[in-house]
Amino acid sequence: MRRKLIAGNWKMNFTSEEEVTNFMVNLVPGMLADVLVCPPSIWLYMLKNSNCFIGAQDVSPHALGAHTGDIAASQLKAMGCKYVIVGHSERRTDHNETDELVKQKAQAVIDAGMIAIICVGETLAQRELGITEEVVTTQVFRSVPENATPANTVIAYEPVWAIGTGKNATPDDAQAMHKIVRAQIAKQLSQGTADSMRILYGGSMKPANAAGLLAMPDIDGGLIGGASLLVDDFNSIIDMVQ
Ligand code: PEP
- For residue 238, the model assigns a pLDDT of 98
Atom of ligand 1 nearest to the CA of 88: 3
**Ligand 1 atom closest to residue 163's alpha carbon, by position in its atom list:** 10
| pLDDT score of 15 | 97
pTM over the 0.95 mark: yes
Q: Tell me the average pLDDT across 46-66.
A: 96
Q: How far from 85 is each of 1, 92, 107, 109, CA to CA, in Å? A: 23, 12, 12, 9
| Least confident segment among 91-95, 136-140, 143-147, 163-167 | 163-167
Q: What's the mean pLDDT in 217-226? A: 98
CB of 8 closer than 6 angstroms to any ligand 1 atom: no
| Mean pLDDT of the 164-193 span | 96
Q: Is 224 in the pocket of ligand 1 (CB under 6 A)?
A: yes
Quick one: CA dihedral 225, 175, 126, 157, positive or negative? positive
Q: Whose CA is nearest to atom 4 of ligand 1?
A: 225
Residue 66 Cα to ligand 1 midpoint, Å, equals 32
Q: Give the contacts of 30 (CB within 8 A, at least 6 positions apart).
A: 238, 239, 241
Q: Report the nearest atom of ligand 1 relative to the CA of 205.
A: 8
Q: Which residues are catalytic?
A: 88, 158
pLDDT in tens, 27-50: 999 889 999 999 999 999 999 999
By the 8 A CB rule, do 174 and 204 touch?
no
Least confident of 102-106, 165-169, 215-219: 165-169
| d(C-alpha 20, C-alpha 23), whole Å | 5
Query: Cα angle vertex 124, ends 240, 229, to 5°?
Result: 35
Buried b (16+ CB within 10 A) or exposed e, 28-57: ebeeebbbbbbbebebbebbeebebbbbbb
Say if residues 28 and 231 touch (Cβ distance below 8 Å).
no
Q: What is the mean pLDDT of residues 13-24?
A: 98
Q: Give the residue with greater pLDDT, 164 vs 71.
A: 71
Q: How many CB atoms lie within 10 A of CB 2?
A: 16
User: Do 156 and 119 meet the contact criterion of CB atoms below 8 Å apart?
Assistant: yes
Q: Does pLDDT of 108 surpass 90?
A: yes
- Å from CA of 61 to ligand 1 middle: 23
Residue 1 reports pLDDT greater than 90: no
* Pocket lining: 204 vs ligand 1, CB cutoff 6 Å: yes
